[in-house]
A and B are shown apart, each in its own frame.
Chain A
Amino acid sequence: MSRSTRRRAVSALFSAACAASVIFALVPLALILFYLLQKGIGALEWGFLFHNPKPVGETGGGFANAIVGTLVLIGLASLFAVPIGVIAGLYVAEYRGSRFATLVRFAADALNGVPSIVVGIFAYSVAVMPVRRFSAIAGGFALGVMMIPIIARTTEELLRLVPESLRDGALALGATRSRAAWSVVLPAALPGILTGILVAVARIAGETAPLLFTAFGNRFFSTRLDQPIAALTVQIYTYAVSPYEDWHRQAWAGAFLLVVVVFVLSVAARLATRRLERMHG
């Protein structure tokens, strides 16, 4: 075999290996989507989106309570986690190198690695035990705790991408350091930070464990923050382990809906990032 034929053969082999790996990586995703759609399609209808669960034994009903509940929980979590995460990221980016900033970054990484069930237990002991009641607030708190490190880290990374010259420009005009960070550096990174927030939302939208003993779930439509509230993930779990055929179908449909929501959020984040890159590129 001549040298060049061998080289071409090796190259083709590696290309094939790469293509095969890509396919293996994508196949599970395609299978999941296909499977969810196939199993849940029977229950995916307007009623599923807009009706509340029917009493046990009756067929029909839907996930409206869980959809609204998840939105409420995400809203609460964001309300709590976005300011803290962004400000923590801003601090770490502005004072990088200082001992406390290093500590904050390390803490964020550690928190990011804490299993979600542990976060749930923490939220239970802080937000459920003292008032002796499961609540939307406790669920939002648990999800928020999970969001903080994600937002803090993306914020920090994006702020570091902002050219130093912008900060210098603001300082040269007589801005204080915090003013420059707040009014020039942060707005310059804002689209990216919003992307980070979307990613964090996509991440927590699919969490079940932290909600099991905080938000708890609710068979009824509720938007009261001091009461247990339904969530897509918890309701999927409850329906999936139930003995009713109709509930199983709805659980599949709920799972499909959840995947679609997370997928849409990821794509939105992706598009926003690309737009940002084009703006700065």
Chain B
Amino acid sequence: MTTETMTMPETMNIAAPRPTPPVRATGPASVGSEVVRVQTVGLDFFYGKTQALFDVSLAVPEKSVTALIGPSGCGKSTFLRCLNRMNDLIPDTRVEGEVLLDGEDIYSSGMDVVALRRRIGLVFQKSNPFPKSIFENVAYGIRINGIGRRSELPERVEHALQRAALWGEVKDRLRSPALALSGGQQQRLCIARALAVEPEVLLMDEPASALDPIATQKIEELIWQLKANYTIVIVTHNMQQAARVSERTAFFMLGRLVEYDRTDKIFTNPGQRVTEDYITGRFG
């Protein structure tokens, strides 16, 4: 992996003492003076014998939006799913390296995966509301995690729906089936469902790729609002979207992190030739 070292200055930190939360990372691939929430160190990922991620080191700053871009099959979704261990569910996969949440390795043996997934929420590419009522969808995570008192449940559901900018549209029909909502509403419902368990980090896997422009705009506005309180990592195929919603952008190709920097820098003055070629649409 010698050819990669130029973009991976952080791999040199592996030998350094384990950072303790909150971490102030340094180095070109770090995030300056901001507090790092999630960080990967030399992350490799394998589907069986096929390696999908090569030595990815990336630090995600708190309360900001980090976009992952790159051509199809570049490993950005795989990377995203490593961050809350959703890849564990796929048989015959293997992770090497570290994923740190507030400095703690989430792949360490003592980690409670179920508790971890509550702290790091995931919104899927295709909205996947449960075939239950709108209310029950949002209440699901609250119930299974036993959050708060039962009497507070309606309040929490309302609060989550408000934060997902859906409350006004559904407040009169909380008991109707979630599957009756439009595609954009369903995706916002899924976001509300994820927010209801009060995660610290929100992962979004192409949350607007199946939506029309108006619904997409709503989701983007929502992301913009949410970053005041959440650390967001979003995978997107839409370069304009990455430019609009994110502060930092990571460009992946062939399972490697090619470049990671401030979004305005990536889009105006990328450091790597391939990044520029991709962003300007020369391939991908």
Contact = CB atoms under 8 A, between A and B. Distances in A.
B150 to A, nearest CB: 16
B128 A174 contact: no
B60 interface: no
Given A188-B130, A188-B131, A169 B124 contact: yes
B223 interface: no
A183 interface: yes
A130 interface: no
B28 to A, nearest CB: 32
Interface of A, secondary structure class, is helix
A129 to B, nearest CB: 46
A113 interface: no
A175 B29 CA distance: 34
Interface stretch (A80-88, A147-155, A160-168): A160-168
Interface in B118-141: 118, 121-122, 124, 126, 128-132, 140-141
By size class, the interface of chain A is 10 to 19
B197 interface: yes
B115 interface: yes
By size class, the interface of chain B is 20 to 34
Interface in B181-195: 190, 193-194
Interface in A179-209: 179, 183-184, 187-188
A227 B237 CA distance: 70
Given A165-B126, A169-B124, A174 B144 contact: yes
B193 A173 contact: yes
B141 A173 contact: yes
A97 B92 CA distance: 13
A170 interface: yes
Given A165-B126, A183-B144, A174 B115 contact: yes
Contacts of A176: 114
B86 A173 contact: no
Interface string B204-228: 0000000000000000000000000
A22 interface: no
B91 to A, nearest CB: 8
Contact of B128 (A163, A175, A187): A163
A97 B114 CA distance: 23
A171 interface: yes
Contacts of A166: 128, 130-131
Given A175-B144, A179-B144, A169 B89 contact: no
Contact of A173 (B132, B179, B194): B194
Contacts of B121: 172-173
Interface in B90-115: 91, 114-115
B188 to A, nearest CB: 14
B197 A169 contact: no
A46 B91 CA distance: 62
A279 B193 CA distance: 22
B145 interface: yes
B124 A165 contact: yes
B9 to A, nearest CB: 32
10 closest A-B pairs (Cβ-Cβ)? A174-B118, A173-B141, A165-B128, A172-B122, A169-B128, A174-B117, A188-B131, A175-B144, A174-B114, A174-B145
Interface of A: 97, 163, 165-166, 168-176, 179, 183-184, 187-188, 279
26 contacts: A165-B124, A165-B126, A166-B128, A168-B86, A168-B89, A169-B128, A169-B130, A169-B190, A170-B130, A170-B144, A171-B86, A172-B122, A172-B124, A172-B194, A173-B117, A173-B121, A173-B141, A173-B144, A174-B115, A174-B144, A174-B197, A175-B141, A175-B144, A179-B144, A183-B144, A187-B131
